[in-house]
Structure 1
């Protein structure tokens, strides 16, 4: 029996991890979230607010692995609420890493492509990080704590996660485009931001694989295609048979974001595919799976 603790079990990724785990024999999943459970995929559940609860070794000792997805990920909110972002994204991660080290529990920590500045060139796992916003800075600091405190851990960096929402979580790029076009609403999308977007089902499967067959180090979890956000929106229109004429490409400066975003995230999943058998579907194949 593999016993796993999943933080952020109510979140977008957390729900997909829990849903997949519920179908795996001899796996027992305990979910943590700051609010009551909104699904029944977990075998057990506890309400844990990372802002209010210190994480002790006793809390993680029963588990073989911790999949740490809980985070404050709204980029503009983090920019304006830095203390809260630090406490959740950095300090809570430090406590979890320390507890895992003391108990010998394997830690799978979910980081972000936003640890990089966003140059239009391929990025490898060992390239130098240099975030352009505070959210990225917190994820960078969390990575450094995980590596120094619990060096046997697995750090996973996804890119622009997309896919179906199971229940009660906020939307994502694909669903936003699909919903707008279904309502015959004209939308503007950036043509100068490039991403190797990550399908949530592939990422969830990777997290569970890392819990069952631990590997040390940093891994990039991304899709097979390097596309602009505008190109992604056009593919959404095509696959779901919606009106692409409603989509207008614009420069990212059009949007008044409080925090800067990296322009490009050009990841390769070669290492992750080799070590975990990660399935990094093309953007179109992921969309067709959603259909």
Structure 2
């Protein structure tokens, strides 16, 4: 039996990790969230506001692994509320790393592709980070703290996570496009931003695999396809039999976002596949599964 503590257990990724863990009799999962639990996938649950407590070794020492998914990920909000983003994304991660180091607990830290500047080249785990917005900067700094403080840590970098929501979590690209087109709404979608988008089910499965295999270091978790956001929108419309004519291709400069976004994220999952058996599913395969499950 492996004992896992999951921060952000009410979040989009957290819920998918908890659901998969719930089906594994060899995992005992404790969830932490700032709000009361909104699902019953965790074996135990504690309402913990990570900003109002000092995270100490005694709080994590009974666990074999901490999976840290809790984060402030709304990019424009982070740009406008830098102190809060710093405390949530960096300071909480630093405290967890310190607690895990002192207790000997392994730490799995969920980072982001936004630590990179977004050049149109294949990016490996060893490439230099250089974020273009403050959210990416907080995730970059958190990575550095985790690596420097907690030797028994693994960092996972996903890309544009998408998939079904389970309970009370915010939407994602696929669900936004699907809902908009189903309502016969016209949408503008950028043609010059490219991603190897990560299916949340695959990411959750990889995270639990990492929890059971003590390989340290940084790993990229991404989909098999490198597509523009516009190309993704067309595939979503096709998969769910919706009207592609409602989708208007536009340049990213036509959007008024407070924070810049990296133009490209072209990850390879080769290292994660080799070390953890990660399945890098194609975008169409993921959409097909969502359609079959009526998601």
**Does the pair score TM above 0.5?**
yes
**Structure 1 residue 50, shift from structure 2 partner:** 1.4
Shift of 1:204: 0.2
Q: Report the 3-state secondary structure (helix = DSSP H, G, I; strand = E; otherwise coil) of the residue aligned with 1:233.
A: helix
SS at match of 1:161: coil
The answer to whether 1:260 aligns with 2:264 is no
- Matched residue, 1:27: 27
Aligned to 2:272: 272
Is the CA contact (8 Å cut-off) linking 2:5 and 2:66 kept in structure 1? yes
Partner of 2:144: 144
> What secondary structure does 2:209 align onto?
helix
- C-alpha deviation, 1:55, in angstroms: 0.5
Instruction: Give the whole-Å Cα distance in 2 for the aligned partners of 1:10 and 1:280.
Output: 25
Q: Partner of 2:231: helix, strand, or coil?
A: helix
Superposition pairs for residues 34-113 of structure 1, below 5 Å? 34-113=34-113
Distance in 1, Cα, partners of 2:53 & 2:207: 24
Name the counterpart of 2:184: 184
Contact map agreement 2:94 2:146 (CA 8 A) in 1: yes
CA distance in 2, matches of 1:159, 1:266: 9
What per-residue deviation string (whole Å, max 9, x for no partner) do you get for residues 221-278 of structure 1? 0000000000000000011011001001100111100000000000000000000000
Answering whether residue 212 of structure 2 is matched by residue 212 of structure 1, we say: yes
2:196 is matched with: 196
Cα distance, 1:214 vs structure 2: 1.7
Deviations 1:145-182 (A, max 9, x none): 00000122100000000000001000000000000010
2:194–2:227 CA contact under 8 A, matched in 1: yes
Distance, in Å, in 2 between the alignment partners of 1:126 and 1:95 is 25
Q: Check the 8 A contact 2:191/2:249 in 1, yes or no.
A: yes
**Structure 2 gaps, min length 5:** none
**Secondary structure of the structure 2 residue equivalent to 1:88:** helix
Moved more, 111-120 or 146-155: 146-155
Name the SS for the 1:162 alignment partner: coil
Question: Matches of 1:224 and 1:210 in 2, distance apart?
Answer: 20
What is the number of residues matched between the two proteins?
Answer: 291
- 1:54 Cα shift? 1.2
Runs of 4+ in 1 over 6 A off after TM superposition: none
Gaps of 5+ in 1: none
Q: What SS class does the counterpart of residue 5 from structure 2 fall into?
A: strand
For the residue of structure 2 that corresponds to 1:96, the secondary structure is helix
**Deviation sequence 1:95-128 (CA, Å, 0-9, x none):** 0001111111110000000000000000000100
Aligned to 1:285: 285
- Superposition deviation, residue 88 in structure 1: 0.7
Superposed CA deviations along residues 36-59 of structure 1, whole A, max 9, x for unmatched, are: 000000000011111111110000
Distance 1:48 1:84 in 2: 17
2:155 match: secondary structure: strand
Secondary structure in structure 2 of the residue aligned to 1:21: helix
Matched with 1:3 is 3
SS state at 2:119 partner: coil
SS at match of 1:63: coil
- The 3-state SS of whatever aligns with 1:198 is coil
